[in-house]
Amino acid sequence: MILLGLDPGLGTTGWGVISAEGNRLSHVANGQIKTEPGMQLPRRLTLLFEALGAVIRTYQPGGAAVEEVLGNSNAQSTLKLGQARGVVLLAAATAGVAIGEYHPSIVKKAVVGTGGADKKQIQAMMAHLLPGAKLAGPDAADALAVAITHAHHLASARALARRVIPS
């Protein structure tokens, strides 16, 4: 199955595509979508939507996962991040792709082993888990981590479903 991981941001949205075959994961592609801070917000959101649509059409994922938004002390930044996240969700949903959502600490714990991991630790683990993958940047690494987390959760759900005995 091809899975798309997304790390939303208005300035930079990271995306990562992996292939999950059983417990085997392999890197397909990754990148970052950037918008210019000087542009009007509607234009930035439109560019993000269109670029994600192109990624989805190119890789045709069977599932997608998006990192949840953490609030911060700057309400305006949190609002803009939430708007970008909404566009990311809309792009996947419009394409008919099923979406999982994960808290950043869940993603960090899934790939590094601790919910407090930093960006450098995530990048190091991506190099270890997806050997040979050239990372487009820290947001792309985060997106790949989200995709890997989703792959693990889907595999666990399938295993659990096989163990449930019908009544």
On whether the CB atoms of residues 156 and 13 are closer than 8 A, the answer is: no
* Residue in this structure with the two tokens 């996947």, named with its chain if needed: 92
Contact (Cβ atoms closer than 8 angstroms) between residue 11 and residue 2: no
SS3 67: strand
Q: Which of 21, 36, 50, 67 does the annotation list as catalytic?
A: 67
At residue 164 the predicted structure's pLDDT band, cuts being 50, 70 and 90, is: low
Active site residue 139: yes
- Span 18-33, mean pLDDT? 94
Pairwise CA distance, residues 141 & 125, whole Å: 9
- Spell out the SS3 assignment of 85-114: HHHHHHHHHHCCCCEEEECHHHHHHHHCCC
Query: Any known ligand binding at 7?
Result: yes
**pLDDT tens digits, one per residue of 95-118:** 999 999 999 999 999 999 888 898
* pTM, entire model: 0.92
pLDDT at 15: 98
Architecture of domain 2-163: 2-Layer Sandwich (3.30)
Tell me the three state secondary structure of residue 115: coil
Confirm or deny that 101 is annotated as ligand binding: no
Q: Give SS3 for 46.
A: helix
Q: Is 7 a catalytic residue?
A: yes
Domain range annotation of the chain: 2-163
Percent of the chain with pLDDT over 90: 77
118 annotated among ligand-binding-site residues? no
How many helices (H) and strands (E) would you count in the chain? 5, 5
To the query of whether residue 50 is one of the catalytic residues in this protein, the response is no
Out of 7, 36, 68, 142, which one is annotated catalytic? 7
